[in-house]
Amino acid sequence: MAAPGVAHTPCVPRPYLGLAWGLGLISGNIFTWAWMLVQAAYANRLRTRSKPLLFYGIGILGLIVSWLMRVSGDSNVEALAVLLLLASLTTIIAGSFSMKNALEEYYAKAEPINLQLSAGMTFFFGPL
């Protein structure tokens, strides 16, 4: 039980980064997509204005549709599939920054530890 006046933080999901990266490689990024959704659900429980789950959900759906368009074999939709892929990756990056904002906001107000996350690390390693 938490002490009076101390905010309760939801349980933080904590895999080892190397394990998450390895499972993502082995599973063809399916684990990475699932892990992105787990992290985004955690960020949504922090009750901030950020919506990383929405960004990640739309991004993953776009990746799947883009892949389906490319494997269909129709050369007419190849350019559209590439555009959808780029839009999906941009949406996933936006989701990573949305999660960064949610974490920084929560840990600045509810638990004031002045958390500062690197924008470069968020850009390159956001889903992990």
pLDDT for 1 equals: 46
78: enclosing H helix or E strand? helix 78-109
The span from the CA of 123 to the CA of 92, in Å, is: 10
**In degrees rounded to 5, what are phi and psi of residue 30?**
-65, -40
Q: What is the pLDDT along the chain (128 residues), one digit of tens a residue?
A: 444 554 555 655 566 667 777 887 888 778 888 888 888 888 888 877 788 999 999 999 999 999 999 888 777 888 899 999 999 999 999 999 998 888 888 888 887 887 888 888 888 888 77
